[in-house]
C-alpha cells in the first residue's frame, strides 16, 4: 500500500508534458480534416416523423407516422383515456390500465402474456445470471424451434426432416441483413427484386450488403390496390432463378395483400421461373388476427415445393420492440445442406454482433411453448387486429359523413398496420403545417395511431386537404 501511495505521489508531482502551440494546432487540424468531409446523414423518412412530432408543442398534435410503444395520443377525450401502442388498446378506466399495463403517463411493462412470461424464473432478469450469459451464435434453440412452428406449421414435414437452417436474429431487420449478406457471399452474381413500394429500410439493407437491386411492380395508384397484372409480368420477365423479396402479410407501406388465389398464381409462376422467394413476415397475426391465416402465403409456396427464406419479427405481435427478437430461416434440400447453411449464417453473425440478446428470446420461447400463455397471446393478437380493423371503418365512415366526393373504400380494403391513403406529399405537408398531424410524406397512415379520441379530427383534416378547390 505504501509503495502504491509513493507511486501515486510521484505521478502527481511529475510535470505534464505540454505540446508546443504549433504542434497542438497541427494535431487539431489533422483531427478535424480527417473527418471534415463527413456530412450529416439525411434524416430517416420514418423516424424523422417522430422527431418532428415530439418537437411540436401543439396540444392537438397527432402522430400517425410510425408505430412506437412509447407515444400516446394527446387528443384524448379525458385525462384518463390514452392509447397504448404496445397492445393497441384504448385506456378507459380510472387507473389508466390497458392490456399491457400502460398508464396515461406512458409507463409500460408488457402485455399479460409477456408479463407472465417475464415473471417466470426461466425468463431471467437483468439481476439474474440467466441474462448475463451468452447465447450460442445461432441463438436460443427453443425460440428457433417455436418460431419455425409458427412460420412453417406445427406439424411441418420440413421441421421433422431437419431441412431448415435457422438462427435467432436481431428482429426482422437483422434477419433481412443476415440473409442479404449470405446472398452476397455465396451467390455473388445474384440480385434482389424488391416491390414498389416497400419498407424503406429494405433498400438500405441490401444496398449495404452490396447486393444489386431491381424493383418489381406491386401497387396500383389509381385503384389503390394490387397491380396484379404488372406484378405477374415482372415475375415472368425476370431472369430465371432470380431472388424476390415478398411481404408475407400486411404489406408495408400499402396494406395491400394478394388474395389466396393470387398467391397461388404467383407461386406457380415462381416455380416455372425457378425464382427464390424471400418472405419478410414482420406482422404475423396483425393482418387478420390469426397467425395461421397470415402465414398462408408461405404455406402455399411450401406446398408447391419451393425452397424459401423467411425473416420473422416479434416486435409488433408481441410488443418486444426493444428486445430485437427475430428469426431467420432458410429451407434447404436436405439436413446436410441445412447444417452447412446454418454454420455459415452463424459465421456471418459472429463479426457482426457475435451473439443475439437473450431476454426477448426467452420471453418468446416461454409464450409459444406454454399452451395457456400461447392461447392468451393469440387472444391479444386478435384484439390488436380487431381494433385496427375497427379504426379503419371509423375513419372511412367519418370521411363519408363529411361529404367527401372521393372514394375511401381502400381504407377498409387494405389490411394490417398501415393505410396507403393516396394523399400527395403536398397534402401531407398541409396536414402537418395546418393541423399538426404527422405521417410520412408518401401518405402512409399508421392505423395504430388512430383512436376514438382523434379519428374525427383526423378525418376532418384529411377531408379539408383533399377536397377539390
The DSSP-derived string for 121-133 is GGG--TTSGGGGS
* Closest among 291, 283, 293, 287 to 416, alpha carbons compared: 287
DSSP element (H, E) containing 8: helix 2-13
What sign for the dihedral angle of Cα 444, 448, 454, 459?
positive
Domain annotation covers residue 214: yes
Same-domain check for residues 222 and 305: yes
Out of 344, 369, 394, a domain closes at: 369
Domain annotation covers residue 112: no
Distance of CA 32 to the CA centre of its chain: 37
Domain annotation covers residue 457: yes
CATH code where residue 237 lies? 3.40.640.10
Q: How many domains in the chain?
A: 2
pLDDT confidence of residue 205 = 97
pLDDT confidence of residue 20 = 61
Same-domain check for residues 269 and 330: yes
- pLDDT-based confidence at residue 111 (cuts at 50, 70, 90): low
Domain annotation covers residue 392: yes
Same-domain check for residues 392 and 283: no
Out of 346, 369, 392, a domain closes at: 369
Instruction: Give the Cα separation of 240 and 350 in Å (integer).
Output: 33
Same-domain check for residues 428 and 452: yes
Domain annotation covers residue 311: yes
Domain annotation covers residue 56: no
pTM: 0.81
Please answer whether residues 59 and 74 qualify as being in contact, where contact means their C-beta atoms are separated by less than 8 angstroms.
yes
Same-domain check for residues 287 and 267: yes
Structure confidence by residue, pLDDT tens digits, 387-409: 889 999 999 999 999 999 999 99
Same-domain check for residues 255 and 335: yes
Q: Give, in order, the Cα–Cα distances in Å from 70 to each of 66, 67, 86, 105, 188.
A: 11, 9, 8, 10, 40
Q: Which three cell numbers stand for residue 337?
A: 445442406
Instruction: Give the Cα separation of 362 and 323 in Å (integer).
Output: 10
Please answer whether residues 102 and 82 qualify as being in contact, where contact means their C-beta atoms are separated by less than 8 angstroms.
yes
Q: What is the mean pLDDT of the chain?
A: 83
Q: Which residues contact 286 (CB under 8 A, 6 or more apart)?
A: 249, 250, 294, 316, 317, 381, 384, 385, 388, 416, 417
Same-domain check for residues 288 and 414: no
pLDDT > 90: percent of the chain: 61
CATH code where residue 436 lies? 3.90.1150.10
List the domain range (segments joined by +) for residue 449. 374-466
Please answer whether residues 245 and 177 qualify as being in contact, where contact means their C-beta atoms are separated by less than 8 angstroms.
no
pLDDT confidence of residue 42 = 84
Same-domain check for residues 324 and 399: no
pLDDT confidence of residue 36 = 85
Same-domain check for residues 342 and 384: no
Structure confidence by residue, pLDDT tens digits, 155-183: 999 999 999 999 999 999 999 999 999 99
Out of 352, 369, 386, a domain closes at: 369
Instruction: Give the Cα separation of 231 and 220 in Å (integer).
Output: 10
Same-domain check for residues 182 and 315: yes
Same-domain check for residues 406 and 344: no
Q: Is 419 helix (H, G, I), strand (E, B) or coil?
A: strand
Same-domain check for residues 379 and 365: no
Structure confidence by residue, pLDDT tens digits, 309-366: 999 999 888 888 888 999 999 999 999 999 999 999 999 999 999 999 988 899 899 9
Instruction: Give the Cα separation of 105 and 80 in Å (integer).
Output: 9
Domain annotation covers residue 47: no
Domain annotation covers residue 340: yes
pLDDT confidence of residue 444 = 93
Instruction: Give the Cα separation of 446 and 123 in Å (integer).
Output: 32
Amino acid at each position: 500500500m505504501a509503495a502504491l501511495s509513493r507511486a501515486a505521489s510521484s505521478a502527481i508531482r511529475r510535470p505534464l508534458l505540454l505540446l508546443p502551440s504549433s504542434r497542438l494546432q497541427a494535431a487539431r487540424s489533422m483531427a478535424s480534416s480527417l473527418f471534415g468531409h463527413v456530412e450529416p446523414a439525411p434524416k430517416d423518412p420514418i423516424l424523422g416523423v417522430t422527431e418532428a412530432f415530439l418537437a411540436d408543442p401543439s396540444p392537438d398534435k397527432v402522430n400517425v407516422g410510425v408505430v412506437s410503444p412509447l407515444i400516446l395520443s394527446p387528443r384524448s377525450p379525458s385525462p384518463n383515456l390514452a392509447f397504448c401502442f404496445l397492445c393497441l388498446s384504448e385506456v378507459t378506466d380510472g387507473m389508466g390500465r390497458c392490456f399491457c399495463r400502460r398508464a396515461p403517463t406512458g409507463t409500460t411493462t408488457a402485455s399479460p402474456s409477456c408479463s407472465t412470461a417475464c415473471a417466470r424464473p426461466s425468463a431471467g432478469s437483468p439481476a439474474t445470471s440467466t441474462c448475463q450469459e451468452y447465447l450460442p451464435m445461432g441463438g436460443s434453440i427453443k425460440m428457433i424451434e417455436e418460431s419455425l412452428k409458427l412460420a412453417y406449421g406445427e406439424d411441418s414435414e420440413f421441421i421433422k426432416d431437419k431441412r431448415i437452417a435457422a438462427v435467432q436474429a436481431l428482429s426482422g431487420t437483422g434477419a433481412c441483413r443476415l440473409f442479404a449478406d449470405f446472398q452476397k457471399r455465396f451467390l455473388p452474381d445474384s440480385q434482389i427484386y424488391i416491390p414498389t413500394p416497400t419498407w424503406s429500410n429494405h433498400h438500405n439493407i441490401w444496398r449495404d450488403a452490396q447486393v444489386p437491386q431491381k424493383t418489381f411492380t406491386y401497387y396500383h395508384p389509381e385503384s389503390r390496390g394490387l397491380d396484379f397484372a404488372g406484378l405477374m409480368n415482372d415475375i415472368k420477365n425476370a431472369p430465371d432463378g432470380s431472388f424476390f423479396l415478398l411481404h408475407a402479410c400486411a404489406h408495408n407501406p400499402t396494406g395491400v395483400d394478394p388474395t389466396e388465389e393470387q398467391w397461388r398464381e404467383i407461386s406457380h409462376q415462381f416455380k416455372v421461373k425457378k425464382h427464390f422467394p424471400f418472405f419478410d413476415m414482420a406482422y404475423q397475426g396483425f393482418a387478420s388476427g390469426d397467425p395461421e391465416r397470415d402465414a398462408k402465403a408461405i404455406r402455399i409456396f411450401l406446398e408447391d415445393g419451393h425452397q424459401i427464406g423467411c425473416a420473422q419479427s416479434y416486435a409488433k405481435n408481441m410488443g418486444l420492440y426493444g428486445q430485437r427478437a427475430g428469426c431467420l430461416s432458410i429451407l434447404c434440400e436436405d439436413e446436410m445442406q441445412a447444417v452447412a447453411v446454418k454454420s455459415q449464417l452463424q459465421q456471418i453473425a459472429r463479426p457482426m454482433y457475435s451473439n443475439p440478446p437473450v431476454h426477448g428470446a426467452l420471453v418468446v420461447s416461454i409464450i409459444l411453448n406454454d399452451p395457456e400463455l400461447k392461447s392468451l397471446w393469440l387472444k391479444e393478437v386478435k384484439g390488436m387486429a380487431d381494433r385496427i380493423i375497427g379504426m379503419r371503418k371509423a375513419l372511412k365512415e367519418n370521411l363519408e359523413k363529411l361529404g367527401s366526393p372521393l372514394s375511401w373504400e381502400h381504407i377498409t380494403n387494405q389490411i394490417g398496420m398501415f393505410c396507403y391513403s393516396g394523399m400527395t406529399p403536398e397534402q401531407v405537408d398541409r396536414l402537418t403545417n395546418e393541423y399538426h398531424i404527422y405521417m410520412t410524406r408518401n401518405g402512409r397512415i399508421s392505423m395504430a395511431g388512430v383512436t376514438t379520441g382523434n379519428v374525427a379530427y383526423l378525418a376532418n383534416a384529411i377531408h379539408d386537404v383533399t377536397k377539390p378547390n
